Amino acid sequence: MQLTKHAHACVSLTGEAGRVVIDPGTFTPDAADAIAAAEAVLITHEHFDHFDEALLARALEARPELRVYGPAGVVDRWRDRRGQVTAVAAGDRLTVAGFDVAVFGDLHASIHRHIPRVANVGYLVDERLYHPGDAYHVPDAPVDTLLLPTSGPWTKVGEAADYVDEVGPRQLIQVHEIMLSPVGQQSMARFLSPEMLTQTPLTIVPVGDVIEV
């Protein structure tokens, strides 16, 4: 499949049968274009940087063929669009735009005891690429390409390194990077490398670039 890197947590995946976009949120300037080019949208959780509710509502209205998948806390707001939206949870397996999608995880990583934790799922696409959303959940399945969040109020370098080692991917790609400057991103790539903390080096894919995964 081909991966298109959008800003922050958002990526598009293109295969022979279609295209899906994962987590087009308000920090992604071209989220509308990404959604317009996709047959389906996968949402990991309800936070605004992963989920632009107003944008998706307009897209669902304009495109009856569009399908949206996410935790109940995301899709239940569109109860009148049951043919277009589907609630997912750990253990679900779906065929979406030609991709096989397995669902893992349960809760968003803890930010602070005063901030409630919301439902968060990760998506394993074609038994190959895993987008964890905002959690260090280790899926009970092999992962070839792991999309790793590198910034945010819940992330920690040490925990990220341990997570990478537990998952054991062949390829590690940065996402969720918007809170890091270019220097900060390079610093994270140095920490998350065989020279320091992980066996798999962190790959920084510039926004707009397309790579094979």
Render pLDDT for 100-149 as a digit per residue (tens, 0 to 9).
999 999 999 999 999 999 999 999 999 999 999 999 999 999 999 999 99
Q: pTM for the full model?
A: 0.97
In a domain, residue 13? The reply is yes
In a domain, residue 213? The reply is no
Render pLDDT for 68-98 as a digit per residue (tens, 0 to 9).
999 999 999 998 888 899 999 999 999 999 9
pLDDT, averaged across the chain = 97
% of the chain beyond a pLDDT of 90: 98
Q: Convert the chain into a string of H (helix), E (strand) and C (coil).
A: CEEEECCCCCEEEECCCCEEEECCCCCCCCHHHHHHCCCEEECCCCCCCCCCHHHHHHHHHHCCCCEEEECHHHHHHHHHHCCCEEECCCCCEEEECCEEEEEECCECCCCCCCCCCCECCEEEECCCEEECCCCCCCCCCCCCEEEEECCCCCCCHHHHHHHHHHHCCCEEEEECCCCCCHHHHHHHHHHCCCCCCCCCCEECCCCCCEEEC
* Domain membership of residue 194 as a residue range: 2-207
Radius of gyration of the chain (CA): 16
In a domain, residue 71? The reply is yes
Do 90 and 11 meet the contact criterion of CB atoms below 8 Å apart?
Answer: no
Query: Can you give the CATH number for the domain in which 163 is found?
Result: 3.60.15.10
Q: Residue with structure tokens 């109940």?
A: 72
Look at residues 168, 146, 164 and name the one whose alpha carbon lies nearest to residue 156.
164
The tokens describing 124, both together, are 């394993």
Do 168 and 155 meet the contact criterion of CB atoms below 8 Å apart?
Answer: no
pLDDT at 205 over 90: yes
In a domain, residue 6? The reply is yes
Total number of domains constituting the chain: 1
In a domain, residue 200? The reply is yes
